[in-house]
Structure 1
Amino acid sequence: MDWRVLQNRWRLMLAVNVAVIIGVFLHKIALPPYVPYIHLLVDYHFGFIKRALIGALVSLITAKVPVWLVFALGGAAWLVTLALFVGLFRRTFGFDEKHLPLFVFMAGSPFFLKNFMHTLGHFDIYGCLVAILLLLVPARSILFVLLAMLCAIILVLIHHIHLLMYVPTIAVIVVVRYYLVEGVNRLNVSVGILAALGLGTLFMAAQFYGTVPVPEADFLGYLQGRMADPSRTDLLSFGYIWYQPLSKEIQDTWARMPSNILGVPVFALLIWLHAPLWRYFAATLRALAHEWQRRLIIAALIGVSLGYLVMFAMVFDYSRWISNWAVCMFLILHAIKTLPALQSVPPIATGDRRTTILGWIVTLIPRVGIVRPF
């Protein structure tokens, strides 16, 4: 088959992905932003509480929060994430024609940018943005570890669940880009241990001591005072999450388990649709020059996945968790590519018929969702 025909096929997929993302955006802005909006209202007015950093930053800019700010801030974060990812992919793989299928399976995945568009305003994307940033900045000194620690602190203050969602991936990036290159010594090991202990302490404080210390009616009254349109009291319906203990979240998750577990086969199918990407991932692992590094990466992948398994048992937003897990795998692949390899890894086959079919299916799926598939 003519090379230009094959080339245009994958370029067409990218164009269709752009159209799908625009469609998802138009659908998203027509929906009420219940959870994202209330997060912009909550700040530290009543003292240290969980999930309040973004709202506190917004309060420094404006006393009254309009609904459109959810889409403005979320859209800005999405665009920055897109730009950083394009830069990262260019540096790791390049944008030559042979790597177009890999870019389609990553950037066009319903797990990634399309689902971040569907969850516009949620906090997930900030973890992804930080991880990409840490894959791009220089990692030649202990300052890189300190930067990663600072970013992880910010993420936990945005939402403490980031400790399981993106902080483990950030730790993998730090280990791969800094410790495996620079080696270990007393200073950098001490800094790493202190960072882990500090983050664990901050998580415990947010989880168990971050509830609002005033009656819920007073809390909601304060939030209503920060609304640009106080009549939209329906947007305050999720105020209870600042009072709900972990035990209640787990209880609700397991109560929904019989129905939510029905989505697992769909998630498995969505993961399988990315088979060419996973085969490339496995080949990249096999090509590593050092066996001990290969084993370390496998252990890290298991560790990151276990964090998501814990989230599955605690909070029922399954579609978001599985989507972010896949994104973490994409980003870890970029980190692995910085390690020395015995041989180059052949790119995903451009002209393979099965790969092309899977590419089109992945392209046409608009998103994964928040709780249940789609």
Structure 2
Amino acid sequence: MVPTPQVCVSTLVTVSTMAVVDLYLLEQSMLGVRGLSGPSVWQCAAVLLGDVGFLLALRFVSAGVVSEARSPRRGFANALWFLFLSLLQLKLFFVCHNYRQERRPPDPLARKTLTLLLSICLPSLFLILTGADHMTPQRRKQEVRGRLLWVVVDLLDVLDLQAGLWEAQGGSTAGTAGATEQRLPIWAEGLVFFYCYALLLLLPCVALTELGATGLPGQRGPRKEALYPWLSLVTINIFTLALRGTGMLWYRDPRVSTVFLGKNLLALAVKLSSAWERHKQERGAAGAETVAGAEPGDSTLPSQSSEQGEGQAQGKAPPSHYHTLSRSQSHTLSHVSLEPTAAPLGPSFISHEL
């Protein structure tokens, strides 16, 4: 069976990302603090076994991703993202730990290259797993792509916050004063790392589930309110803003990205204003429904009074005398109804006599 392009691209992205992070780990073990001439055997064996197990699991999970590409289910896509990100973050944790403890001058190019690799591979893998290309209505496809853009921007925001843990703006040998000024406490770095890990694991899975449930044609009925915008508002636009502000103002950390600070402020203002406008629209719609429900009962009274007024103006009796009029008219109609039957008898009788 020939693999689909989606399987080929997702496998290429995952395997290449894992291979590059493995090279970073082997390079750190070879040029680490102890000054070994090369990586040890157990480190190479552990990396090799981890990659083989990941490839075996990837073989079965990728087949499931292809089978549910045109269905609203995204269980295999969530499983693939969970498996890939868990193993990747475990390796990145050791990369950060080795960078923190090494005593040689840092290589900013290598660290920024790692950040660039992650900022390309993680969003691209997420876009592949969404299956947005399989959506047939063009308008719906454009709408889904607009929602995916917000998710990608949030992923880059979290990656920028996490990359500050291994990117160095200056060497650790520049002096104790500079080191204490530029380096966060170990507990703070651990807290930031695992918070970013939780966000990278949770937010794409929520977005995949919601896009899979609403992004396919033929699904009708009222749509449920999306959970991702509110989750992004709290975890990204508020908490990461607080973390960056604390690092910049309290710890004087120069690695804080002021660009994403501004992005979070703007996104916070836009989301709150849109939520307020939606609340006003819903309240206005509810008020209009209550007014529309009260209008039919009230409108009957003016109509009845107007009918009575018109009847009196034209000399007609009010509705209370309808029964008496109908009885008298029934007697008159009964006498009149006999006349047409007697009218044809006159000519026939005359013709018979003649």
Q: Give the TM-score category using the shorter length.
A: under 0.3
User: RCO higher in 1 or 2 (8 Å CA, sep ≥ 6)?
Assistant: 1
Q: Greater Rg, structure 1 or structure 2?
A: 2
With the length of structure 2 as denominator, give the TM-score of the two structures.
0.26
**TM-score w.r.t. length of structure 1:** 0.25
Q: Which has the higher helix share?
A: 2
